[in-house]
């Protein structure tokens, strides 16, 4: 399952991402927002982060204007590894190396076609499971910083 969230700055791109997920027959749940009306991104970051933490097999996709606010907010939730991506390479490698469970994009930064490729790369790539990556992720889990 893919949990989607955006603020008003990411609403339009989220609508396009949803159409792409439909075409791939990938299941998703959109946790809002539901229009271009101004909302607060931390609310939607938290909604998606909480779902992803509860369902370990799921992934999240968050979109705000720049992607920065959603990244900061989502990464405050323990166990969330949110990656702000504006290119396909980063989107794939952050799954392989960082086991990122939330993809973040900037709706005012990247275009539709790139966003669709980024999302597809992210959701179709698995964590490598390599010992060195597991070790580093464990260090992050244990860290208080």
Selected from 43, 68, 93, 137, the binder of ligand RB5 by CB under 6 A is: 68
Query: What is d(CA 136, CA 59) in angstroms, rounded to the nearest whole number?
Result: 20
Under DSSP, the state recorded for 75 is T
Residues 6+ apart with CB under 8 A from 93: none
Decide: helix, strand or coil at residue 102. Answer: strand
Catalytic residue, from 8, 64, 85, 88: name it: 64
Using the minimum distance from each CB to ligand RB5, give the nearer residue, 65 or 121. Answer: 65
Using the minimum distance from each CB to ligand RB5, give the nearer residue, 9 or 121. Answer: 9
Using the minimum distance from each CB to ligand RB5, give the nearer residue, 5 or 69. Answer: 69
How many CB atoms are closer than 10 A to CB 60? 29
Instruction: Return the residues of window 27-66 that contact ligand RB5 according to CB under 6 A.
Output: 41, 64-66
Rg (CA), the chain: 14
What residues make contact with ligand RB5 under the rule CB under 6 A?
7, 9, 41, 64-66, 68-69
Active site residues: 64, 97
């Amino acid at each position: 399952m893919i949990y989607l969230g955006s603020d008003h700055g990411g609403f339009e791109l989220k609508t396009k991402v949803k159409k792409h997920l439909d075409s791939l027959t990938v299941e998703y749940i959109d946790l809002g927002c539901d229009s271009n009306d101004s909302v607060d991104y931390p609310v939607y970051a938290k909604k998606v982060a909480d779902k992803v933490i509860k369902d370990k097999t799921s992934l999240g996709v968050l979109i705000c204007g720049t992607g920065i606010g959603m990244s900061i907010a989502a990464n405050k939730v323990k166990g969330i590894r949110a990656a702000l991506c504006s290119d396909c390479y980063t989107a794939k490698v952050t799954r392989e190396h960082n086991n990122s469970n939330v993809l973040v994009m900037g709706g005012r930064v990247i275009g539709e076609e790139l966003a669709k490729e980024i999302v597809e790369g992210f959701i179709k790539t698995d964590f490598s499971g390599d010992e060195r990556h597991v070790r580093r992720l464990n260090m992050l889990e244990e860290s208080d910083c």
